Structure 1
Amino acid sequence: MAPARPGASSRIEDFLAMLATERGAAANTIAAYRRDLEGASQVIGDLVQADGSSLTRLGQAWSGLAATSLARKCSALRQFYGFCVDEGLRDDDPSGALPRPATRRPLPRLLSHEDVERLLLRAEEEAQGDAPDAVRLLAMLELLYGSGLRATELVALPFAAIPRDAPFLHVTGKGGQQRLVPVSTRAQAVLARWLVHRGALVSKDKPSRFAFPSRGASGHLSRVRLFQLLRELATRAGIDASRVSPHVLRHAFATHLLEGGADLRVLQTLLGHADIATTQIYTHVDSARLVALVNARHPLRDAHRRETPPSGTSQQARR
């Protein structure tokens, strides 16, 4: 194993700093890239000085990885070498020697309209007694499915982000990107109920800046606890708990909006996707409707009808 040359780690840090400042990469993304690049340097030494044969050897060392893991590691290295070329640290880009595993984005798990309705009805029934935990869960469920929030965005939602006179949430998503997310009328009503209970839980002695604070602490409800609460609710609603999670509800939000005729660009904005290619995964669920739309609305549909003779018309008559 070749030792990393002095300064190699600082180049990695420079690259990661660029990702954070210029591209707004999230902390989890930066941490994953750091692990991948440091792991590669342990195999082949100084990444800045590596040549094509070194990267070929690295690919062989990684050959036992799953395709998705291998693709992520190779992507990190390709971006690193692009950075090195841009910064004048080297004249060539050796990343062509890295493998290009064929990966396929998995289709999201889906909940039907009926499944979501059963979840909401169960949550509403349990919240009728106005128990704080039940009202909180109903409010969080409404925001997951009604606004398409990520689990992290929801649990870390600041109290100040909840609207007072406008039906929007100010959400900070991946990479610190901010967006406005609409809140339905029914979600606003449940949030108003929850804020009454929140006011009783939060005091000067137990301050919290979060909309959904954890009990007895200044922090917020954890993603793990949210996951557990949803699965427990699914079981009580008679739904297979393994099919339900915060992210599955986000998928349901996107899928059902698209089925209802939402524009893909609008959906991209609502979900906070930086790349529309991420949003396009949802188009598979509505392919039949899209085909019908093309057949019904495309300008050439009338031309086809004009060129098609009535049944029974002879070839001579058409001439």
Structure 2
Amino acid sequence: MTNAEIIELWLDALAAERGTAASSLTTYRRDVACYLGWLGGRRLAEVTRQDMVAYLAHLDGRALSHSTISRRRSVANGIHRFMVAEGLGTGNPAAELQPMKRPDRLPFTPGIEAVDRLIETAHALARDGSVGLYRQAGYARRAALLETLYASGMRVSEAVTRPADAVRPGTRMIHVRGKGGKDRLVPLHDRAVEAIGWWRELAGRYGSRSDVWLFHRVSNGEQHLTIDAALKEIKETAAAAGIPNASRWSPHKLRHAFATHLLQNGADLRVIGELLGHADLGTTEVYTKVNVARAQKMVRDLHPLSDASS
């Protein structure tokens, strides 16, 4: 069996047996292409443990994030584990490798003032009727998307594929379908709901309001906003707001900000994990790293046995 045939079987199994989301499968295909490209035509069944160690060293030598390296390693491991289970290989060359250590620090996370500045800039653009209805509707969609991302902490892939009826009437809750087809309800604050309403109103005036997608192209309600378009829009808005390092902003930074800012304000870690759609609390615990200084100050200032509190 060829490498390509094995990969298709593996991806089909992920979709059918685990309900892996289409967006995740697309990402895995890119990871597989990286792995097969590195193998240079060698058969997957011939890969050895030494080959796997060399592949991981190759990944470590590139300018990749910890999460990307971890995912690509997991993809390679998953392929070989699948091959063993299906009788397509005699052993998993990645099975005995040491697990990667989770980094102690978070990537760049925007502060509350910076996020507020970003979103206020988006709203200012959305209020400017002088740019014409088409552009104003696009700006209103942008403001609604940014408000929704920061209010809910959802992944951008989840946000851009929300159906038109995702916001439950009268509840201020949005239905999110996350990884593996798992559903959750996440509350939205008033500003996010109002921003969505303004975007939908302008889309209606333009004649393109969709009954299919919540965030869609202004010119075509049948096509949802793409992840790349959302990424471009947040960078443009950060630049328009005069925020330093605008190129570092992404929709995922708003997800980080959502979790970090809630934790800073005393939210329960388990609740944050549920809102984010994390299956494992350990994934959420990384956000506690940014809160150590605040916790130390709280103990120093408020603990009854602390000198500073007396």
Highest CA radius of gyration, 1 or 2?
A: 1
TM-score by length of 1: 0.74
Evaluate the alpha carbon distance shift between residue 50 and residue 261 of structure 1 in structure 2; reply closer, same or farther with a 3 A threshold. same
Match of 1:23 among 18, 21, 33: 18
Inter-partner Cα distance in structure 2 for 1:173 and 1:160: 16
Contact 1:71 1:100 in 2 (8 A): no
Q: Which residue is 1:153 aligned to?
A: 158
TM-score by length of 2: 0.76
Deviation (angstroms), 1:294:
7.7
2:7 matches 1:47: no
Evaluate the alpha carbon distance shift between residue 78 and residue 155 of structure 1 in structure 2; reply closer, same or farther with a 3 A threshold. closer
Which amino acid is the alignment partner of residue 210 of structure 1?
A: W
Q: Which residue is 1:221 aligned to?
A: 225
Deviation (angstroms), 1:158:
1.6
Q: Secondary structure at the match of 1:171?
A: strand
Match of 1:32 among 15, 30, 33: 30
Paired residues, number? 293
Match of 2:202 among 197, 204, 219: 197
Q: Percent identity?
A: 35
| Unmatched 5+ stretches in structure 2 | 130-135
Give the superposed CA RMSD: 3.6
Inter-partner Cα distance in structure 2 for 1:52 and 1:242: 39
| Unmatched 5+ stretches in structure 1 | 1-5, 306-319
Q: Secondary structure at the match of 1:20?
A: helix
Which amino acid is the alignment partner of residue 215 of structure 1?
A: V
Inter-partner Cα distance in structure 1 for 2:88 and 2:70: 24
Q: Secondary structure at the match of 1:156?
A: coil
Any idea what the Cα deviations from partners look like across 1:129-158, whole Å, max 9, x if unmatched? 564334323222211211112222222222
Which amino acid is the alignment partner of residue 226 of structure 1?
A: A
Inter-partner Cα distance in structure 2 for 1:245 and 1:61: 27
91-100 or 274-283, larger mean C-alpha shift: 91-100
Q: Which residue is 1:76 aligned to?
A: 75
Inter-partner Cα distance in structure 2 for 1:280 and 1:14: 35
Contact 2:259 2:272 in 1 (8 A): yes
Deviation (angstroms), 1:179:
1.9
Any idea what the Cα deviations from partners look like across 1:41-89, whole Å, max 9, x if unmatched? 645x433355556656767887855675665544333323333343455
Which amino acid is the alignment partner of residue 166 of structure 1?
A: T
Inter-partner Cα distance in structure 1 for 2:243 and 2:57: 45
Deviation (angstroms), 1:284:
1.0
Alignment of 1:58-73 (within 5 A): 65=62, 72-73=71-72
Contact 2:105 2:290 in 1 (8 A): no
Inter-partner Cα distance in structure 2 for 1:236 and 1:120: 11
Q: Secondary structure at the match of 2:45?
A: coil
Contact 1:53 1:97 in 2 (8 A): no
Contact 1:202 1:208 in 2 (8 A): no
Contact 1:208 1:219 in 2 (8 A): no
Deviation (angstroms), 1:36:
4.7
Any idea what the Cα deviations from partners look like across 1:169-206, whole Å, max 9, x if unmatched? 11223343322121112222222222211222345xx8
Evaluate the alpha carbon distance shift between residue 106 and residue 36 of structure 1 in structure 2; reply closer, same or farther with a 3 A threshold. farther
Inter-partner Cα distance in structure 2 for 1:55 and 1:132: 50
Evaluate the alpha carbon distance shift between residue 290 and residue 88 of structure 1 in structure 2; reply closer, same or farther with a 3 A threshold. farther
2:235 matches 1:231: yes
Contact 1:145 1:253 in 2 (8 A): yes
